[in-house]
Amino acid sequence: MKLTNRKTRTVVRGTLVASMAIALISFGGLAAERSNAAAPKLSQGDRLWFQCRACHTLKKNEPHKLGPNLHGFINAKAATRPGFKYSKALTTSGIVWNDAELDQWIKKPNDLLKGHRMNYAGMTDASKRALLIKYLKEKTR
């Protein structure tokens, strides 16, 4: 009789453990779906901008960070954002931030201009640079 009770308890315990495991896995899956649904979808531009935002801001009247605020910089002369202290190299460069100059700057700033203070190695992928430039044009109007 004790043997039967022990077997019964073992079977019941095993069933409960299995049921709880299934419930937890199911709940975990639902929770993951909910958290993914609630998380905003980032565009490729947002993802590319992510590393830039450590030093730059985009919206009008946002403060400068390590780098200048970029609002309205497209087709503007380099080093003209009020209130930011630029390097002499950038101030005297004559660069105008058009697509070609931006592409070269994002690709490898040191190849475009020596003596600037931007600590950025560059982005080798041309398609990513094009996406980032498009993003900057949209976000800095």
How many CB atoms within 10 Å of residue 85?
A: 9
pLDDT at 31: 47
pTM > 0.85: yes or no: no
Orientation of helix 126-139 relative to helix 99-107, angle to 10°: 120
Quote the radius of gyration of the chain (alpha carbons, Å).
28
Greatest pairwise CA separation for the chain in angstroms: 96
Secondary structure (3-state) at 40: coil
**Where do the DSSP E strands lie in 1-141?**
none
Q: How far apart, in whole angstroms, are the C-alpha atoms of residue 46 and residue 134?
A: 11
Mean pLDDT within 20-39: 51
Position 20 pLDDT exceeds 60: no
pLDDT at 3: 47
How many CB atoms within 10 Å of residue 67?
A: 19
pLDDT in tens, 48-89: 999 999 999 999 999 999 999 999 999 999 999 999 999 999
pLDDT in tens, 9-18: 555 555 555 5
Q: How far apart, in whole angstroms, are the C-alpha atoms of residue 135 and residue 138?
A: 5
Higher pLDDT, 64 or 41: 64
What percent of the chain shows pLDDT beyond 90? 70
Give residues with Cβ within 8 angstroms of 128, minimum separation 6: 44, 48
